[in-house]
Structure 1
Amino acid sequence: MEQEKKVSSRFIYFFGSFGGILFGYDIGVMTGALPFLQSDWGLYDEAAVIGWVTSGVMFGAIFGGALAGQLSDRFGRRKMILASALVFVLGSILCGMAPHDGALYLVLVRILLGLAVGAASALVPAYMSELAPARLRGRLSGLNQTMIVSGMLLSYIVDFLLKDLPETWAWRTMLAMAALPAIVLYFGVLRLPESPRFLIKHGREQEALRVLGYIRSPQEAQREVATIKDMARREERSAARTSFASLLDGKYRYLVIAGVGVAAFQQFQGANAIFYYIPLIVENATGNSASSALLWPIIQGVILVLGSLLFLLIADKFNRRLLLTVGGTVMGLSFLLPALLNTLIADADPMMIVIFLSIYVAFYSFTWAPLTWVIVGEIFPLAIRGRASGVASSFNWIGSFAVGLLFPIMTASMPQEAVFAIFGVICLLGVIFVRARVPETRGRSLEDIETNSLPIRGAAATGAGTVNQFDESR
């Protein structure tokens, strides 16, 4: 434990969120690699193969998130982040070694890689929310999103720099270089402490107090340990052992539906259709080669990073539900308006859709993108937090997998504007879900959220607890 005493709070927060780099890089790297892979293997008319190669990571992530969430309740968040980093290194190298025309091999390896990606997406928000103080939890948990989009931008830049290599070396190098951030993550996490809430849940109170001492004053650390212990005792009395069936228990169901619903809507809104396929979208709109459009992903990546930095400034100044409502509304209109304008204007500029997609990315970057993981990290009760975070992550990846797989198939059978209009409707449905089902969590401790969050309908009926739950003026 002497080594842990040397760990600074900045180091903890930085590497606690660094796991986002892993799946941010992998989300982005295929954007640039795909045109070269498509040319190298002659996949121009193979929409289903392209969809599976692209979405294989998301398919694996569906299971990786759920598995890691369950195992982290037993072995700890830190150990599972280390394991996911090792799997990521292995999977990235194997992707770069794919045999020529080995589509099935590449799909299977990317499914393996997805196990690590899904694990990181489940573990990082839970770890960060359990370390962050309530007053800073939105901002510090938002570091996860900053890491994700920084990983995406890094991959876009790497893709652009490698675009002049022979095509077979270009895409292989792009995919294999994903191992580098995973190696950095592994050695950084080796020095991280375990989550204090996990330690207390497993009877290691002194270790939890020591960890909280790195990032709290002594008085704050003592109070937080007492609060966590009290909540843990209450959970033990009500449910000595939890399982996935516990997620549907009456006292948890409302918060589980809220967290899982937000995670699912984030992906079904279609963001990854832009991030994975923007060169192909530009090619479809302009007729220019997709491999010559690799500057557009960098533009999208810069917008994402700037949006994530904006979120860090406003995260704890505006309510979660307000930001999700504004963001989802503008995102939906950004998808719907191009379809409407193309219907009304026969010779509309084909690049108009790319401009509207940039507006979508801008609002997504500081609302739904980071807030999904903030909410997933803070809304679930301690007794089910690992499993519930894993399920939320899995539903998020189900949406990502469906979008990644179906987008090239849909655009092969209908106009791009019609496909994006479908996503626009989903964005607006997400806003309705937030207003109806998601409690306000800004500025509240994890234990307070668990104790006092009631369904909106129930709160309205009783007239009780409205300030703690949904006061939009806070």
Structure 2
Amino acid sequence: MPLRTNSLASSWRASFAAFGGILYGYDTGIISGVQAMEDWLRTFGVPVAVSTTNPTGYMISTGQKSLVVSILSAGTFTGALIGAPVADICGRKWGTILATLVFSVGVAMQVAATAWPLFIVGRVIAGLGVGLVSVLIPMYQSECAPKWIRGAVVSGYQWAIAIDRDADAAAALARLTGTSPDDLSVREDLDDIRANLEEERRLSSSSYLDCFRVGEPNKICFRMVTGMALQGWQQLTGINFIFYYGTTFFQNSGVGNAFLVSVATNVVNVFMTIPGIWGVERFGRRRLLLVGAIGMCVCEFIVAIAGVTLPKTNLAGQKVLVAFVCIYIAFFASTWGPIAWVVVGEIYPLNVRAKGMSFAAASNWLWNFGIGYATPYLVDAGPGNANLQEKVFFIWGTTCFCCIVFTYFCIPETKGLSLEQIDILYTHSTPRTSGKLRARLLAEDVHAADHRAFEKEVGEEIRDDNNSGNEKV
């Protein structure tokens, strides 16, 4: 049976696991609208005169707005940090079940709340569940999905820890991929797992300190920092400014029916993720990240310029602002939204994968907290606030330009490579020069079982090239 047919079962499992992202999307999708709901504002806010910026007659302070949005990230940061031990102790499956139960408890507390303390605690607990999911789901997907759809062959971390049990490992892997334990693809995957495990044992890297050890041949420190920085830059694109504060931002910008516009931006975000899912294996990670960063950068500056040059009473100006915000979201949803998680699920070696993804997810939530907390003070009017309004998009446009530079120098193309081949790629190339080696890895179909011989050959070629260059000099 062809490999793609055999691996449909694992594809469906990995795809179904993606529904864990609903926990994150649930909150980011509704919190902007919740803050503008009359019933919620009546419960937690104070009465004020009805105006364009306060159409419900109630409001919460800038500090309360900052707290209600950002406090979730305090929980998610903690959840992401403990994601690694939870993954190793409970496993991916039961860890995810635990995370969803924790999230459900947090949501129940928020729904039942009639005062700030219970609502805030509920958001922290819900955040804890979301943080756990943000580590466990990408980890599960990268380990279970076949490389023709995810760019990574089954690495089988949970099977590797029981590799003295070859028969059980083969049976588990066959069940996951919908094949026979004697299938050639299963044997090749097990050989990859076994060889990679032996190599990682040889390197003896397993502690948190080893995650940042400089000078390792597989550039483990660079990979750790890259994953953490990638998640930080994803947040610094400014996307959650729209999802957390979009409704109030559009109201203050003079956009009519700001709530419906906010709903529209969420619809764009959902449906434009589909092209990203399709394009990640067709066009690659690096290329789409570059295209997405360029597109967002252009849109952000157009929104900023339109916001400061056109009056709020200009209907055409409102439409331009909304249109380019939607285009900006479309670029994010089809590139940086999903692909940042794809990359961090691929770039870490086996022995530190759980810890690496935990650090990367924690970085995401730490920046999420900082941006969520600071944004109301940057945007709102009032004593002590910056009152930037639409000018805040100049900041997001600048950070998106930084995303372009970061991607060009730090993100290699990993499309089509197994997790073990990615190790080879990092060891013998840089992100800017990785294309040639990647093409060779794919052409020669190098497996972990024979990667040492391949690396020796590549190393000799590199030395020959250097010697040749010295002779020419």
Q: Does residue 147 of structure 2 align to residue 137 of structure 1?
A: no
Quote the offset at 1:447 in angstroms.
Answer: 0.7
Q: C-alpha distance in 2, partners of 1:210/1:456?
A: 36
CA contact (8 A) 1:336 1:420 kept: yes
Distance 1:30 1:458 in 2: 38
What is the CA deviation profile of residues 363-400 of structure 1, one whole-angstrom value per residue up to 9, with x for unaligned ones?
11110001001001111111100010011001111121
- Looking at structure 2, the residues matched to 455 and 346 of structure 1 have their Cα atoms a distance apart, in angstroms, of 55
> How big is each residue's C-alpha offset from its partner over 1:151-190, in whole Å with a ceiling of 9 and x where there is no partner?
xxxxxxxxxxxxxxxxxxxxxxxxxxxxxxxxxxxxxxxx
Query: Aligned pair in 2 of structure 1 residues 260, 456: CA closer, same or farther (>3 Å)?
Result: farther
Match of 2:45 in 1: 42
2:229 corresponds to which of 246, 261, 267: 261
Matched with 2:172 is: 211
Give 3-state SS (helix, strand or coil) of 2:66's partner. helix
Distance 1:330 1:14, change over 3 A: closer
Equivalent residues in 2 for 1:229-240, closer than 5 Å? 229-239=194-204
**8 Å Cα contact 1:311-1:367 kept in structure 2:** yes
Look up the match of 2:292.
327
Aligned to 1:353, which of 315, 321, 338? 321
1:467 maps to which residue?
Answer: 436
Runs of 5+ consecutive residues of structure 2 not aligned to the other structure:
1-7, 47-58, 381-385, 444-473
CA contact (8 A) 1:77 1:127 kept: yes
Change (3 A) 1:428 1:205: farther
* 1:237-252 aligned within 5 A: 237-239=202-204, 242-250=206-214, 251=216, 252=220
Mapped to 1, the partners of 2:19 and 2:255 lie a distance apart of 38
Report how far residue 271 of structure 1 moved: 0.5
Preserved CA contact (<8 Å) 2:304 2:392: no
Which one is further off, 449-458 or 118-127?
449-458
Contact 2:306 2:320 in 1 (8 A): no
Structure with larger RCO (C-alpha < 8 A, sep 6+): 1
Alignment of 1:301-380 (within 5 A): 301-345=266-310, 349-380=317-348
Distance in 2, matches of 1:394 and 1:205, equals 35
Task: Note if 1:196 corresponds to 2:167.
Answer: no
Q: Shift of the alpha carbon at 1:228? A: 0.9
Q: What amino acid sits opposite 2:213 in the alignment?
A: D
What corresponds to 2:20 in structure 1?
19
**Cα 1:261/1:216, change in 2 over 3 Å:** farther
Conservation of the 8 A alpha-carbon contact between 2:408 and 2:431: no
Q: For residues 24-423 of structure 1, what are the structure 2 equivalents within 5 Å? A: 24-36=25-37, 37-42=40-45, 44-99=59-114, 102-137=115-150, 196-203=156-163, 204-213=165-174, 214-215=176-177, 217=179, 218-239=183-204, 242-250=206-214, 251=216, 252-286=220-254, 293-345=258-310, 349-412=317-380, 413-423=386-396
Give SS of 1:397's match.
helix
**CA apart distance, 1:351:** 4.4
SS for the counterpart of 1:20 is helix
2:250 match: secondary structure: helix
Distance 2:279 2:22 in 1: 22
Higher alpha-carbon deviation: 401-410 or 359-368: 401-410
Query: Matches of 1:11 and 1:72 in 2, distance apart?
Result: 21
1:100-127 deviation digits (Å, cap 9, x = unpaired): xx22332222111111101111111110
SS class of match (2:408): helix
Name the residue aligned to 2:470.
none
Structure 2 equivalent of residue 442 of structure 1:
415
Q: Are 2:405 and 1:432 equivalent residues in the alignment?
A: yes
Where 2:233 maps in the other structure, the secondary structure is: helix
RMSD between aligned alpha carbons?
A: 2.7
Say which one has the larger Rg.
Answer: 2
Match of 1:189 in 2: none
CA contact (8 A) 2:110 2:120 kept: no
Hey, what's the Cα distance between the residues in 2 that align with 1:11 and 1:469? 27
2:451 maps to none
Residue type of the partner of 2:436? V
| CA deviation map 1:39-85 (0-9, x unaligned) | 43226251111111112111211110110123213332112111101
The verdict on how the C-alpha distance between 1:195 and 1:254 changes in structure 2, with shifts beyond 3 A counting, is closer
CA contact 1:232–1:382 (8 Å) conserved in 2:
yes
Q: Given the two structures, how large is their TM-score scaled by the length of structure 1?
A: 0.79
Aligned mates of 2:273, 2:361 — CA distance in 1: 20
Aligned counterpart, 1:180: none
> Which amino acid in 1 is paired with 2:158?
F
The alignment-based identity, stated in percent, is 27
Alignment partners' CA distance in 2, 1:339 and 1:386:
40
CA distance in 2, matches of 1:17, 1:361: 20
Shift of 1:360: 0.6
Assess if the C-alpha contact under 8 Å between 1:66 and 1:391 holds in 2. yes
Check the 8 A contact 2:108/2:122 in 1, yes or no. no
Q: CA deviation at 1:343?
A: 4.7
Q: How many residue pairs were aligned?
A: 404
Per the TM alignment, residue 344 of structure 1 is displaced from its structure 2 partner at its CA by 4.9
Paired residue secondary structure (2:281)? coil
* Greater mean alpha carbon deviation, residues 324-333 or residues 198-207: 198-207
Measured in 2, the distance between the counterparts of 1:466 and 1:10 equals 27
Give ranges in structure 1 of 5+ residues lacking alignment: 1-6, 142-193
Q: SS of 1:443's equivalent?
A: coil
The CA distance in 1 between the partners of 2:274 and 2:432, in whole Å, is 35
Superposed CA offset, 1:395-434 (max 9, x none)? 1111211222122221113232221110111111011011
> C-alpha separation between the residues in 2 aligned to 1:72 and 1:428?
35
Local SS of the residue matching 2:72: helix
Hey, what does 1:4 align to over in structure 2? none
